[in-house]
Amino acid sequence: MGELFEEQLEALRARSLERKLREISSAQGPEVQIAGRRLINFSSNDYLGLASDLRLREAAIGTIKEFGVGAGASRLVSGTQSPHLRLETALAKWKETEAALSFSSGYAAALGTVPALVSKDDVILLDKLCHASLIDGAKLSGAILRIFPHNHLGKLEDHLEWARREHAGKRILILTESVFSMDGDRAPLRELVELKSRFGALLMLDEAHAVGVIGPNGRGLAAAENLNEDVDLQMGTLSKALGASGGYICGSRSLIEWLINRARSFIYSTAPPPGIVSAALAAVNFLGSSEGEERRRLLWERIGLMQDLLPRNELNEKAGVASSAIFPWIVGDEQAAIDLASALQSEGFLVPAIRYPTVAKGCARLRITVTASHGENQIRSLCEAIKRANKRRAED
């Protein structure tokens, strides 16, 4: 058996698709320590620098002192402790929805929720660039799955017509993201809402890379577009801009009660540790504060700087106006992306090479993320290093 995996690994290596873990021996932040070296970190989704924030640390420590470390059981058995309920109340208030439910991760939120909404004979329409958690949730549901080209409203409309015609009376669920995780562009939410209303479909929006970044108090794209009422489910993670860990679904009270009864990743998994839940609550409170708004403004200042300085690259057709903190530097070839990432690493920058199957084959890229805690000079020096690396590449 060992040999079997060795052969499979060798096949990955031959296609420049093998992945390895690397040890980071420091907290998350604009700089991290790898193999005894400080690197400027452009790889994390800690957009507001909250992952090592003192407020979150103290919230977690305070709750650990009071409630201990483990939650002891699933939420429905005896794991619902006061911090979980406080967090959910705060999430619903912040998002301005009737109710909210938290999960152990964003991945678990998707995996539990999608199969609770639709089943065999129902139809899921999913954007081609959706995150693996939505794809896996869709597959697990057993519903009929149709994929529409990225942000392609015409094709989505065709699929909706087809679903209404061929699967009359069945539920139709549209799955998409507000900010796409590897491309950084946004969904045309207003048009999606128009379509979903016209065809009587449900819309579930994954706000993972939008919360904390977009909208009043970082509430995400639905809030920014004033479409809170029209998005049936807002999914998000507490693990990125919110700096903690966990996932959530916000929506109507009956939806949340249904998920408590049907979302298997919620029912059959131990409740998240209360300390982490309190850290997430501190992050939600921070986002709602004027200091949170100020941090978000600073993030957009940094995004604007990166937008101005990052050299254009012809494969990078999305280099219009930055719509998020994610800057994909599309290289194409898998090995070229790895080489570029290691050239940047030798100059002191951590920028991940993203390859198949996270993105399509031949669409490998560097994924640069900007955070509010980056200094202007760190962004300037990264952009200089990219220019140098690009020039060398052109000369080769």
Ligand X SMILES: *Cc1c(COP(=O)(O)O)cnc(C)c1O
Q: Which of 84, 131, 159, 209 is catalytic?
A: 209
Active-site hit among 178, 181, 265, 373: 181
Between residues 159 and 367, which has the closer beta carbon with respect to ligand X? 367
Interatomic CA distance for residues 94 and 292, integer angstroms: 13
Residues between 299 and 358 with contacts to ligand X, criterion CB under 6 A:
none
Residue 44 contacts ligand X per CB under 6 A: no
Cα separation, 261 vs 246, whole angstroms: 19
Distance CA 381, CA 30 (A): 13
Closest distance of CB 214 from ligand X, Å: 14
Whether 209 sits among the annotated catalytic residues: the reply is yes
Binding to ligand X (CB under 6 A) within 89-148 occurs at 105-107, 131, 133
Identify the burial level of 320 via C-beta atoms within 10 angstroms of its C-beta, where 0-12 means exposed, 13-18 middle and 19 or more buried: exposed
Bridge partners (DSSP) listed for residue 202: 173
* 209 and 324 Cβ atoms separated by less than 8 Å: yes
- Residue from 88, 206, 334, 339 in contact with ligand X (CB under 6 A): 206
Smallest distance from ligand X to CB 328, Å: 13
Is residue 181 within the footprint of ligand X (CB under 6 A)? Answer: yes
Q: Which is nearer to ligand X, 206 or 339 (CB)?
A: 206
In this structure, what are the phi and psi dihedrals at residue 156, rounded to the nearest 5 degrees?
-60, -45
Dig out the tokens for 203 from the structure: 């819309």
Rounded to a whole number of angstroms, the minimum distance from the CB of residue 164 to ligand X is 28
**Residue 237: CB minimum distance to ligand X, A:** 4
Residue 233 vs 385, nearer CB to ligand X: 233
| DSSP state for residue 212 in the 8-state scheme | T
Q: Which of residues 211-270 bind ligand X (CB under 6 A)?
A: 237, 239, 247
Nearest to 274 by CA among 100, 102, 82, 88: 82
3-state secondary structure of 60: helix
Tokens 């954007």 -> residue: 127
Is 196 a known active-site residue? Answer: no
Residue 167 a catalytic site member: no
Q: Please give the Cα distance from 26 to 383 (Å, whole number).
A: 24
Kindly determine how many residues on this chain lie close enough to bind ligand X according to the rule CB under 6 A.
Answer: 13
Just list the catalytic residues.
181, 209, 240
Binding residues (CB under 6 A) for ligand X: these are 105-107, 131, 133, 177, 181, 206, 208-209, 237, 239, 247
